[in-house]
């Protein structure tokens, strides 16, 4: 796809598709038909397996279905001829309307038929969902990842195509480095994309994510917790040395003579350690004079 066409994608579906022909009654769906508006049986439309959106709330679909029963579908679905399946179509944009139409019991739906490649179909699906804010952060990231891995996109080009900054694309893709349990929380909306980016720097993002959800922490609070170092392991308590009577007596004698606290540690091997504690320099000078005498 030329760069100019990619830029048009970033401005939305209408920029690519152009004005729709006014042919709501036409039903010629032969391969010779170019892009245009048609009315086709809803049963002839298949879901696009590359659509990054996976989550559809039943409550939202029920509300939309009730509206479609009364007003019908105002904005056509965007489809392409299904590869290898004559008289069938693959959905590109409008899956929520397609699902709601089935719930509403509609037999036919208006569509705009375009002939595009797999790559273009994925681009269009992402553009529509991103512009409508229909994707959760994980769905958006996986859509970007598919364009990068399957179609060789560079992140800078991807930002131009989708109409997002390169920083946004990069930060969104980084979310996929989080543990699967954290990604689930992002998918359900328990965590925001901001929370996810903060968790990337945490020593244990899974544990911190549970804390964030339980305490309903803000993104700023999550960032502060993620930057805290892990607690240092506490040193094992030192075993208390039990001194025999001779050592204890000698220790007391030295303490009385010097007027300073003496700690005598004698090992069975014959070696040991003698510690003399002082609190002021005068005490140290006095000790030195006694040692020199």
The CA distance from 147 to 153, in Å, is 6
263's tokens = 């700690």
Q: Select which of 59, 63, 95, 230 is catalytic.
A: 95
The CA distance from 171 to 197, in Å, is 7
- For 255-277, letters b (16+ CB in 10 Å) and e give beebebebebebeeeeeeeeebe
The CA distance from 165 to 288, in Å, is 73
Q: Which residues on adjacent β-strands are paired with residue 81? A: 89
Beta strands (DSSP E) in the chain are 36-41, 45-46, 77-81, 89-93, 108-113, 261-266, 272-277
Note if 267 is an active site residue. Answer: no
37 touches 76 (CB < 8 A): yes
**What residue spans of 163-199 are helical by DSSP H?**
166-174, 180-188, 193-199
Give me the active site residues, please.
95
């Amino acid at each position: 796809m030329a760069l100019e066409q990619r830029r048009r994608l970033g401005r939305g579906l209408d920029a690519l598709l152009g004005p729709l022909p006014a042919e709501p009654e036409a039903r010629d769906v032969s391969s010779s038909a170019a892009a245009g508006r048609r009315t086709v049986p809803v049963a002839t439309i298949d879901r696009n397996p590359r659509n990054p959106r996976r989550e559809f709330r039943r409550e939202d679909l029920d509300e939309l279905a009730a509206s479609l029963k009364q007003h019908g579908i105002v904005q056509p679905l965007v489809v392409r001829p299904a590869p290898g399946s004559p008289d069938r179509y693959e959905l590109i944009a409008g899956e929520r309307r397609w699902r709601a139409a089935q719930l509403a019991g509609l037999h036919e739906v208006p569509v705009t038929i375009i002939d595009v490649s797999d790559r273009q179909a994925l681009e269009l699906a992402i553009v529509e969902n991103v512009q409508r804010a229909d994707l959760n952060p994980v769905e958006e990231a996986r859509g970007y990842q598919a364009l990068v891995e399957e179609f060789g996109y560079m992140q800078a080009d991807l930002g131009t195509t989708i109409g997002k900054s390169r920083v946004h694309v990069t930060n969104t893709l980084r979310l996929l480095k989080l543990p699967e349990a954290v990604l689930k929380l992002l998918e359900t909306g328990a965590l925001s994309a901001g929370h996810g980016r903060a968790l990337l720097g945490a020593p244990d993002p899974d544990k911190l994510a549970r804390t964030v959800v339980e305490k309903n922490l803000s993104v700023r609070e999550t960032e502060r917790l993620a930057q805290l170092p892990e607690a240092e392991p506490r040193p094992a308590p030192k075993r208390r040395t039990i001194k025999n009577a001779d050592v204890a007596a000698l220790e007391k004698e030295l303490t009385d003579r010097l007027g300073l606290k003496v700690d005598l540690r004698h090992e069975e091997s014959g070696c040991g350690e003698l510690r003399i504690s002082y609190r002021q320099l005068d005490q140290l000078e006095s000790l030195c004079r006694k040692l020199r005498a």
